[in-house]
Structure 1
Amino acid sequence: MPLRRPRTSSPDPIAPGPRAARRARHTLAAAAALLAAGVLGPAGAQAAALPAAAPAAVPAAAPAAVPAAAADGAVTVTVNARAGLAAVPDTGMGANHAIWDAGLGGDAAADLLKDAGVKMLRYPGGSYSDIYHWKTHTAPGGYVAPDTDFDTFMSRVRRTGAQPMIIANYGTGSPQEAAEWVKYANVTKGYGAKYWEIGNELYGNGHYGANWEADDHADKTPAGYAREVVAFADAMKAVDPTIKIGAVLTTPANWPDGIIAAGDSATWNQTVLSIAGPKIDFGIVHWYPSGADTAATLRTPAVLGDTMYELRRQITRYAGANADRIGIAMTEINSDRGRNTQPGAIFAADAYSTLLAEGVFNVDWWDVHNGPDKITTEAGQTDYNDFGLLSSGGCVGDVCEPPYNTPFPVYHAIAMTSDFARPGDRFVRAGSDDALVTAHAVRRGDGDVAVMLLNKDPDSERTVTIDYAGITPAAGAPTVRTLTNGATSVTTAQAGTATTQTLPPYSVTTLLVHTTDGRVVGAPLPPGPPVATEVTDRTATLSWLAPPGTMGGVKFEIQRQNGTTSEQWGETTGTSFTVRNLRPGTRYTVNVLARDTAGRISGPSAPLTFTTGAPAESTCAVKFAPASDWASGYVLNVTVTNNGTKAIGDWTLDFSWPTPYQQISGGWSATWTQQGRDVKIVGTAPLAAGGGSASAGTVVNYNGPNILPQAFTLNGTVCSLTP
């Protein structure tokens, strides 16, 4: 059995598996010698012995549309309380526990996690999950610390006030072993463990060239994994049909997303969802972004909205009927810069808020304790490159971490985020005109609004003016909580106003804003979640449920989100509305609000996002065919066909990328140019009437989710799409 590292992430695109495996073996041997000599305790041994895998590549640059930093430090933030996003789940704030962490941190760690609002704890720990046998509490080839068995873990879960996220051993286990674990947990012990993952990062089993995940199955393809997920789900739900089963998926734009391995007919996600989709309840993804420097890493959460959109698109497309029931859990996440200093805190607050606003039901930091690796300095503070929320008390040379269980800044950021976005709150749209200031906001059930402001400038403060839509702030200073660079705790004060705040350099700030009209007594409740049907290139029919207690005379407003602005598309007294004059190939997000005869208006419904397509018929057709994807680029072939009655001489095909992450490189059989997101293909080969066609190609590089365009125009005419 190969030795395993405690933390895992997707590997470098150029198969680093053997190199990483050698490094793990060497350090394990060194740690074993130190343990024998009594130099290292268990926590320190694991930190030294089990280094992290290389993180997957994700965008290092911010989207092109992000505004420049304000030269004078003055910033405008807009909060639109009528532009609703996802509601905050009661399982959102999570962290990973692992069986190499002696006693799982004990009661002190459990109490700290409870104070931070952690509501989900994952076990038994990354790649160890695929070598761990719960009955014998063993992990052949790995280290198991004292007092880390399942019952001890559950005692920590209960003390924390959380739920467990349990990883069944896929790699070296069996459906029967997993079913017996469910029986022990929920029938014998009555733990009520609801969420169960089937394995961890199984795409790292060697099938794609990198091999860090244990997998004893003869069939290591995504189809083989998917068929076994079905067997696991059937066996486990036969014991307890109320549990939720999660399957391993790849994060869009992270290796090996997009790759079709030898012998496969489709990507990992398409294959797993197509076979196991009807049997699973959620998809599992991990994210370890990298950046060229700290500033670049702090920009990476901006990609998460498009990443989750693309993942949901894949689930909807491939998972079969009722695919919208399948949730998404980000069960491992960490930063690659400033993990134990203020950059890690800013990254965590930004990433958790962004993911929860996008409807992810669980986000788990990797991990509670891990250990130091190398010593660096970030913004004048010592960073230990420790993945943990809490210090392990380990040392690198003569530099030692603070005492065991001392919270790192990221712990405080997660505590602030759980206080800022409470279960039942609804995220609402917020934005900033400064690239170095990020804003998030939630609307509470009583109408109040909480705002999070992140200053990513390590050197300069920002004076922020906050504009509100849909609410009127009450007079008086709001409650402001702040985590600053180098601080060991969060400060709380009544400071500034609801519309003006000063942000210290490198800070996380939240404020609670009371309102005079945010939840008017007697106002209607929000309508039910809207759905879209009959979506074409130009129209869509939206429908929703009227809120409980609604009497006659109530009107419903349909509002589109355009950045932080809401555009009213129309209103109706019914519960459906057909929108017309839409743009082909365009993504739209809308909310529905209820207004009664007294003019009192509800909060926003849950959001609906839909994308218009191409016309079903046209005088031209386009086939857009990516091939040979290597997870950061692909060869693109485009074929344009003239279905009209007149021949076309010179022609120009135009399209726009849906996101700023794609860039063409060169081209053949036509002249290719790109400006911003807009691509122009100019061809000289004539297109004969009645089916004449021409093809051209290019290489496309991408550093974010590769969302494909859905609308093309040939000499100004919108074309249909050819499969």
Structure 2
Amino acid sequence: MRKSRIALLALTLAAANLAVPTGPATAEAAPVTVTVNARAGLDNVSDAAYGVNHAVWDTALGTNAVADLLKDAGTQIMRYPGGSYSDIYHWKTNTAPGGYVAPDTDFDHFMAGVQRANAQAMVIANYGTGTPEEAAEWVRYANVEKNYGVKYWEIGNELYGNGHYGSNWEADDHADKSPAGYATVVKQYAQAMKAVDPTVKIGVVLTTPGNWPDGIVAGGDAGTWNQVVLQIAGPSVDFAILHWYPGGSNGPEALSKTAQVTDAVWLARQQITKYAGKNLGIALTEINTGYGQNTQPGALFAADAYASLTAAGVFSVDWWNVHNGIGTVSTVAGHTDYGDFGMLSSANCTADGTVCQPAFNTPFGPYFGLSLASKFAPAGAQLVRAAASDPLVKTHAARKPNGDLSVLLINEDEANAKSVTLSYAGYSPATTAQVAGYGNGDTAITTASGTATSVTLAPYSLTVLTLHPTAAVTGPAQPARPAASGVTATDATLSWPAGTAGLKYEVHRQNGTITEQWGETTGTSFTVHNLTPGTRYTANVIARDGTGKVSWASPPVTFQTGTPSAAPCAVTFADVNDWGNGYVGSVDITNTGTNPIDTWNLAFTWPTAWQQVSGGWNGTWTSTGAAVRVSNADFNRTIAPGATVNVGFVGAYQGPNVLPALFTLNGALCTTR
């Protein structure tokens, strides 16, 4: 990302006080209802979920003061040596030719800070100007000589930015800068590094669905970056690396971007399964917001993004950056925003000296977003479904290993407080609750006592309710994530490993915050019938013992049903030329029946709100919201049995480009090929 390539030549200390203006009084809006369903389980929180980035040009890297601040915020993992610097950095000499490296930022200083914070490391091996041998020596030094136990190793940073697709910000000395060239050498890195320490986990750089250059096929390539990299390197690596800077020019726009998380992770997993042929963990090792980086939008976005991505099964989310430096100064929600992508103040000033940041290491808004998110759902917790009746109130919920349940409430209304009532399914809370909050302009998290069923959210605020159970109940162990197989248009079989003897297993489908029980069995598989074609389903398994005690819901499985194999029509929908936020779409319509089709209308619905048709040909295209219809032109009005007509369009998207799954021709459901 562009901000990760800007080096701070030095971080200067400045003595400044962080003012806390008092906002205007606001009236409460209409009551909001929040529903939490502890039976609708999402993913478990890993021990590397809450991360940050460190950079070797940061003079405070590895210091006790920074380590202590990050520890207090619940940071579990720290990434090093810093974005695009990773591809020019040489660990042995602590140098980055062409860039600035601050004193005392070498690997040992970094690890001292990691250890002081009781965190772990995410290390980026130099791909751009390094070698597999240099990376293997780093593994040997870290894990054999020093016993640091560094588990996660990335191979390079944003190598799709090496000029192969036209944009060139990432150093890459290799003659072959294609995805095939990168993937081939990644295999050499993985082999060399694992020969030193077989326990290390190797990460490979992918493009994030819906973000440039995802979907683009460059000249001479056999497919997109992700397709080629996964096909070649997938069998040799252990996790996929994504970066996400979703942007946004104002608060509502920036804060809406987390709605893309579910589809982005879904598409990434689909690509991984299809092209790598195995499951890879997903780490999102750089993220930041596009608006209000230091103020309340940054805090709200950070908390929401950490929770949303963790719920989707991303095992590590690493904020860019700890210190970054002053950028474009503005006023956001009544407070000065320094345009600084750091969590902590760098205490530097604008070029003309008219505006200076607060004292060095003063926490900015995202720091408190991280802190509340890590307290809301610590390692070992499981996210569960929660929803609010007001679109300006986002909510997440988590079951904790100690039996507590937490609810994260995000009020994105800058002007109005929200009166919230809460209800719970699958969990019986005690009456009282602990309440932690962070409001617009606050300099610390506040704590108070409250109730489990109601709370008032200040405007533009974060609130975490921590609830205790009415009685401690120990049920069976949480089942493992089920797997889906034999998926057709209407059927699917779910299977899971056996638990202890004598258990029954309930199989539940998630429908928002409602769970619908498909059935139960004493076995370890269950076949579901009468499903809707072309539909994405999410399901859990819950174990129940002979006394009626139940387990936590398993982590979810998500699968999509197909379309009928026998239908009067077939449709092939293809993205034939993509440029990162738009593409040329080709749609083949085949008459698979025995009679000619005279006059036709093809209809489909976009899966997301950020997709649209910009224009089309070979038919008359119309759109109403997400619904799209194309009717025949005069020259292709008739489709003979076995014949195919083609229509095309220009599509646009501003997020993950999930292709439609269902098409109807004159009202009849077609086979999607």
Q: TM-score range by the shorter chain?
A: over 0.9
Correspondence 1:430 to 2:386: yes
Contact 2:29 2:419 survives alignment (8 Å): no
Correspondence 1:699 to 2:653: no
Find the counterpart in structure 2 of residue 535 from structure 1: 487
Find the counterpart in structure 2 of residue 399 from structure 1: 355
Contact 1:203 1:268 survives alignment (8 Å): yes
TM-fit CA distance, 1:599: 3.1
Find the counterpart in structure 1 of residue 144 from structure 2: 187
Find the counterpart in structure 1 of residue 24 from structure 2: none
- Counterpart of 1:659, as a letter, is T
Structure 1 window deviating more from structure 2 (210-219 vs 622-631): it is 622-631
> Residue 608 of structure 1: which of 537, 557, 572 is its match?
557
Contact 1:6 1:127 survives alignment (8 Å): no
Find the counterpart in structure 1 of residue 239 from structure 2: 282
Correspondence 1:493 to 2:462: no
Which runs of structure 1 show a deviation greater than 6 angstroms over 4 or more consecutive aligned residues?
A: none
Structure 1 Cα separation of the partners of residues 49 and 155 of structure 2: 20
- Counterpart of 1:490, as a letter, is I
TM-fit CA distance, 1:168: 0.5
Q: How many residues align?
A: 656
Structure 2 Cα separation of the partners of residues 140 and 558 of structure 1: 57
Which residues in structure 2 correspond to 1:246-261 (within 5 Å)? 246-261=203-218
Structure 1 window deviating more from structure 2 (614-623 vs 70-79): it is 70-79
Structure 1 window deviating more from structure 2 (671-680 vs 661-670): it is 671-680
TM-fit CA distance, 1:679: 2.1
> Residue 338 of structure 1: which of 287, 292, 297 is its match?
292
Which residues in structure 2 correspond to 1:282-361 (within 5 Å)? 282-320=239-277, 323-324=278-279, 326-361=280-315
Structure 1 Cα separation of the partners of residues 334 and 668 of structure 2: 58
> Residue 125 of structure 2: which of 159, 168, 173 is its match?
168
Correspondence 1:636 to 2:604: no
Structure 2 Cα separation of the partners of residues 204 and 558 of structure 1: 45
Structure 2 Cα separation of the partners of residues 425 and 248 of structure 1: 28
> Residue 4 of structure 2: which of 7, 31, 45 is its match?
7
Structure 1 Cα separation of the partners of residues 667 and 610 of structure 2: 25
Find the counterpart in structure 2 of residue 115 from structure 1: 72
Structure 2 Cα separation of the partners of residues 626 and 407 of structure 1: 44
Find the counterpart in structure 2 of residue 36 from structure 1: none
Structure 2 Cα separation of the partners of residues 289 and 73 of structure 1: 30
Contact 2:62 2:111 survives alignment (8 Å): no
Correspondence 1:661 to 2:629: no
TM-fit CA distance, 1:568: 1.5
1:558-583 deviation line (CA, Å, top 9, x unaligned): 11111111112222222211111111
> Residue 716 of structure 1: which of 636, 661, 667 is its match?
667
Find the counterpart in structure 2 of residue 81 from structure 1: 38
Gap runs ≥5 in structure 1 = 9-23, 33-41, 46-69
Correspondence 1:132 to 2:69: no
TM-fit CA distance, 1:5: 7.2
1:622-672 deviation line (CA, Å, top 9, x unaligned): 111221111111111111111211111112222222222211122222222
Correspondence 1:264 to 2:221: yes
Gap runs ≥5 in structure 2 = 14-26
TM-fit CA distance, 1:687: 4.3
Structure 1 window deviating more from structure 2 (668-677 vs 172-181): it is 668-677
Where 1:91 maps in the other structure, the secondary structure is: coil
Where 1:7 maps in the other structure, the secondary structure is: helix
Where 1:466 maps in the other structure, the secondary structure is: strand
TM-fit CA distance, 1:524: 2.6
Where 1:400 maps in the other structure, the secondary structure is: coil
TM-fit CA distance, 1:73: 3.0
187 and 501 in structure 1: CA distance in 2 versus 1, 3 angstrom threshold: same
TM-score if structure 2 supplies the norm length?
0.94
Structure 2 Cα separation of the partners of residues 568 and 83 of structure 1: 11
1:399-458 deviation line (CA, Å, top 9, x unaligned): 221211111121122111111111111000111111111000001234321000001111
Structure 2 Cα separation of the partners of residues 564 and 205 of structure 1: 44
- Counterpart of 2:123, as a letter, is I
> Residue 562 of structure 1: which of 511, 536, 540 is its match?
511
Correspondence 1:157 to 2:114: yes
Where 2:202 maps in the other structure, the secondary structure is: strand
Contact 1:175 1:236 survives alignment (8 Å): yes
709 and 5 in structure 1: CA distance in 2 versus 1, 3 angstrom threshold: closer
TM-fit CA distance, 1:718: 2.5
Instruction: State, as a whole percentage, how many aligned pairs show the same letter.
Output: 58
Contact 1:100 1:145 survives alignment (8 Å): yes
Contact 2:607 2:660 survives alignment (8 Å): yes
TM-fit CA distance, 1:330: 0.7
1:70-116 deviation line (CA, Å, top 9, x unaligned): 99331111111000000010111111111101141511111111111
5 and 545 in structure 1: CA distance in 2 versus 1, 3 angstrom threshold: closer
Correspondence 1:483 to 2:438: yes
Correspondence 1:220 to 2:177: yes
TM-fit CA distance, 1:688: 4.5
Structure 1 window deviating more from structure 2 (713-722 vs 535-544): it is 713-722
Find the counterpart in structure 1 of residue 473 from structure 2: 520
Find the counterpart in structure 1 of residue 397 from structure 2: 441
Structure 2 Cα separation of the partners of residues 688 and 131 of structure 1: 59
Find the counterpart in structure 1 of residue 496 from structure 2: 544
Contact 2:81 2:124 survives alignment (8 Å): yes
Find the counterpart in structure 1 of residue 19 from structure 2: none
Contact 1:528 1:545 survives alignment (8 Å): yes
TM-fit CA distance, 1:678: 2.4
Structure 2 Cα separation of the partners of residues 394 and 272 of structure 1: 41
TM-fit CA distance, 1:7: 1.1
TM-fit CA distance, 1:293: 1.3
- Counterpart of 1:72, as a letter, is A
TM-fit CA distance, 1:241: 1.0
Where 2:603 maps in the other structure, the secondary structure is: strand
TM-fit CA distance, 1:316: 0.8
- Counterpart of 2:602, as a letter, is L
Structure 1 Cα separation of the partners of residues 322 and 107 of structure 2: 16
Contact 1:103 1:146 survives alignment (8 Å): no
RMSD: 1.8
